[in-house]
Amino acid sequence: MTNFVFFYCQFVTCFLIDERRMKVVEMGGAQDLLNMLKTAKDDKTRKQALKALVALSHSYEAAEALHQADAIAIVSSTPNSLEYAEVETYKSSLLKRFQELKHEIPSEIS
Helix count (H) and strand count (E) of the chain?
6, 0
What pTM was estimated for this model as a whole?
Answer: 0.78
In the chain, domain spans: 2-100
Nearest to 95 by CA among 68, 79, 74, 69: 74
**Helical packing angle, 2-26 and 29-39, nearest 10°:** 60
Nearest to 21 by CA among 51, 52, 56: 56
Tens digit of each residue's pLDDT (9 = 90 or more) over 55-93: 999 888 999 999 999 999 999 999 999 999 999 999 999
Tens digit of each residue's pLDDT (9 = 90 or more) over 7-56: 545 544 555 567 877 887 888 889 999 999 999 999 999 999 999 999 99
Helix extents (H) in 27-70: 29-39, 43-57, 60-68
- The answer to whether 25 and 65 are in contact (CB under 8 A) is yes
In this structure, which topology does domain 2-100 adopt according to CATH? Leucine-rich Repeat Variant (1.25.10)
